Amino acid sequence: KNEVEQSPQNLTAQEGEFITINCSYSVGISALHWLQQHPGGGIVSLFMLSSGKKKHGRLIATINIQEKHSSLHITASHPRDSAVYICAVYGGSQGNLIFGKGTKLSVKP
């Protein structure tokens, strides 16, 4: 079983829709990251959180430490939000980041 599971793997939405991407993990963590990767490869860190909720613009990230679960929400989605969203947690044998396989989001106009 993967230590970091994301769902769904692929997601297609219409512009304006509310989007939720989920991340479940099985390792103990000090922090969880949400990353965004646009076509072309570059990865940008969106959030790093260890409890509660963080908001940046139309993006909201929540984490429930007891349930080992995090969600990334996008409100009023836009075609420019189309990207791969990756969840990552600190864990593993060397305490480094363990990545989920990513969720590919496509927002249609």
List of residues contacting another protein (CB under 8 A): 30-31, 33, 35, 40-45, 48, 50, 86, 88, 90, 92, 94-97, 99-102
- In angstroms, give the least distance from the CB of 97 to another protein: 7
- In angstroms, give the least distance from the CB of 96 to another protein: 6
Residue 97's Cβ-count burial label (10 Å; 0-12, 13-18, 19+) is middle
- In angstroms, give the least distance from the CB of 91 to another protein: 11
What does 58-97 look like in DSSP terms, one character per residue? TEEEEEETTTTEEEEEESS--GGG-EEEEEEEEETTTTEE
Q: Specify the residue, 8 or 92, whose C-beta has the smaller distance to another protein.
A: 92
Q: Specify the residue, 25 or 90, whose C-beta has the smaller distance to another protein.
A: 90
Q: Specify the residue, 14 or 38, whose C-beta has the smaller distance to another protein.
A: 38
Cα 25 to Cα 67: distance, rounded to the nearest angstrom: 9
Cα 17 to Cα 22: distance, rounded to the nearest angstrom: 16
